[in-house]
Structure 1
């Protein structure tokens, strides 16, 4: 039997998350997920803290989309404080990258927590988020 590797996926659980209203134009907060952004020259840096899963991936995608709209050249994404990322988080990252490319911009990872780095390595997608 071939070796099976865990991609960091966990079983879905019954949990309700009430989406809270944004705490300001540059700071969005949801239970277990915090996203902050700031402009730096032609780029916007988006910092994420918390779990990226089926519940929170849409918020990440929307936040990166808003940051792309504010940037001239693209977005630098800091995922250094993400303790968990499943395939939904990866899907949001790939969709956001596609949106950046359509606009002639880039989406790069400035930091990746071990679980994010492992997921990107196992799926051979890390190079898609590198600076050109």
Structure 2
């Protein structure tokens, strides 16, 4: 059966701001795209004390595979003594977090400024817009 649905392939941009890595994810984060996104987040959370902000405002869809990769990124960050914040203005996504009992697990903010991201100091190597799917 042919799939006539046009997918919004996820991509990301990445930058550093005063020691904080800000990753903006866009598109759909689902079972097909999650492995590539997870690989990037694994790289970002590999060092000691990662300070990571995931800007999810441009994400159009996330399924359980996407939630799993967010949990993995959080667990890796916490295990290395770091901090992870999510930025989303989606009431639907917040409802999903509440329904899965994850709302208390993540620091969630509606605006990037609320996540206390310092001024931009440079771009992470390879942090230009790149497809992840």
Shift, 1:111, TM fit: 2.3
What is the alpha-carbon distance in structure 2 between the residues aligned to residue 112 and residue 88 of structure 1?
Answer: 20
Shift, 1:104, TM fit: 0.7
Partner of 1:76: 53
Q: How does 1:38-49 map to 2 (within 5 A)?
A: 38-49=15-26
* 1:59–1:118 CA distance, 2 compared to 1 (3 A): farther
What is the alpha-carbon distance in structure 1 between the residues aligned to residue 32 and residue 107 of structure 2?
Answer: 26
Query: Secondary structure of 1:128's match?
Result: coil
TM-score norm. by structure 2 comes to: 0.67
Partner of 1:62: 39
Aligned with 1:101 (options 72, 78, 103) = 78
Aligned with 1:111 (options 88, 95, 114) = 88
- More displaced 10-residue stretch of structure 1: 90-99 or 59-68: 59-68
Question: What number of residue pairs does the alignment pair up?
Answer: 105
**Residue by residue, what CA displacement relative to the aligned partner does 1:75-104 show, whole Å, maximum 9, x if unpaired?**
001111111111110011111111111111
What is the alpha-carbon distance in structure 2 between the residues aligned to residue 68 and residue 61 of structure 1?
Answer: 10
What is the alpha-carbon distance in structure 1 between the residues aligned to residue 78 and residue 17 of structure 2?
Answer: 20
What is the alpha-carbon distance in structure 2 between the residues aligned to residue 92 and residue 46 of structure 1?
Answer: 14
**Residue by residue, what CA displacement relative to the aligned partner does 1:101-126 show, whole Å, maximum 9, x if unpaired?**
11111111022534422221211212
Aligned with 1:126 (options 103, 116, 123) = 103
TM-score norm. by structure 1 comes to: 0.68
Say which structure, 1 or 2, has more relative contact order (CA 8 Å, 6+ apart).
2
What is the alpha-carbon distance in structure 1 between the residues aligned to residue 48 and residue 9 of structure 2?
Answer: 26
